[in-house]
Structure 1
Amino acid sequence: MSDFAGLRALVTGGASGIGRATAGLLAARGAHVAVLDLDPSAVRQPLLALRADVTDDASVRTAVQEAAGALGGLDILVNNAGIGAQGTVEDNDDAEWRHVFDVNVLGMVRTARAALPYLRRSDHAAIVNTCSVAATAGLPQRALYSATKGAVYSLTLAMAADHVREGIRVNCVNPGTADTPWIGRLLDAAPDPAAERAALEARQPTGRLVSAAEVAGAIAYLAGPLSGATTGTALAVDGGMQGLRLRPAADR
């Protein structure tokens, strides 16, 4: 496919996981892609690797400007950089709450703010934010993380309303539990990694974790010219976790 031929894309958190899969897919489909990451050392050509800390406004502005200069502009922003957090509302101190919000929410604000002047010059401008099923479903031991993703969901809708008349579409993807490095680290730290993985798989109706490639495919759809009538939408990529209510297997 070459539906992204000639388009310029910027992917934050693009050195691993969902971001890496997305950057690679967009490039394979014809886009010129820059990756912003705290550690872009694993990024290879044809991707353009740029270091940026999304908690530092000056760092973000410099990297976005460099990306736009190297690519000749920007058409697509994929706001994917984010971190996880575990625990109930009691388990994380104020510093942790501020840090996770700084990365997961304000990181998107900083990047979008820096990219908007370039997106306004594009005929195919699109922003896709990586949200989560945690924004719309109550998950145990994810109070802080869920709060940030709820903010991302609301931010997406507000941005879509603000920028639709400028020709900039804004959408988000809501993955279920995805097979990413962060989930890998969570499993490694569990007392029984196999049992923890089985539990995470069982809560998704498909019975398995979502792959990074599947989330990347959804991001590409929302970012691409063929979805030109789609804005203010949250696309679930969660194995049916949000919408399906299956009976136990024995009751089929």
Structure 2
Amino acid sequence: MTEDDVTYTDVKFNRPRAEDEAPGAEVVYSNVTMPRTKHPVCSKCAIDAQQAGQGIRSKVTTERVVLLVIIGILVVTIIALAVKINSKPKMDTASSTPTCPSCPKPPEAKNLTCLKCEAGWEQHGGNCYYFSTSKSSWTDSRRSCTDLGSDLVKIDSREEQAFLLGRVRDLMKDNEDRFWIGLTDSKEEGKWLWVDGSALDQSLSFWNQTQPDNNSPAHSPEADCVRMGKKGKKGGSDDLKSWFDTSCKYPQKSICEKTAKLSSCV
């Protein structure tokens, strides 16, 4: 049997009955083979079908590419968000400061240093000052300052002079209640030197009017040491001019000075 033949079985056909046959008899034919007519396939239909199949495959491929691109974008976005979240500095709940290695560490209070003075001393700038209320000679006053690790004050600026004069005014009881400073011409008359051996800068001298006059309240033949202090109202061009020369033996209060020390700010 060829591939184009179709076999039908148990096919019944009615035929005219013969005179000698019994009524109702049927004749059965088996294995009846009938040729099947081939229907020609048009070339245009085949081309259309092929193009339709290719269109479907192309459409499926395009959709797949778009889907893959969207998935890739989502993956990249998720990774970027994860990196951003993980890169944020972690905060210490105790100190509320970043713990990331690149963040600068906050200064530790124990490592901070400040300029400080001992009890009884007053700080101004980088120096400490002690205003002694006991009266003694210039030499004895200087010795007392030395015992305290200091010396009689040396005035280096108008600002320092203004600070000292303001404090002295508050401590003076009368106009003669003045304070020794570390200036003298005891080695050579008229050559004024500070206790550290440096010469007086005339642009930073604050002599009162008519001073120095080489006179002293005790009528001493020599007035080789300098005291400061002036009562009265503040203001005026001569306000800071409050130096007076007098005898080094005349008892006066004194001002000691030393450098402030570095210590912990805590």
TM-score using structure 1 length: 0.20
Greater per-residue strand proportion: 2
Greater per-residue helix proportion: 1
TM-score using structure 2 length: 0.19
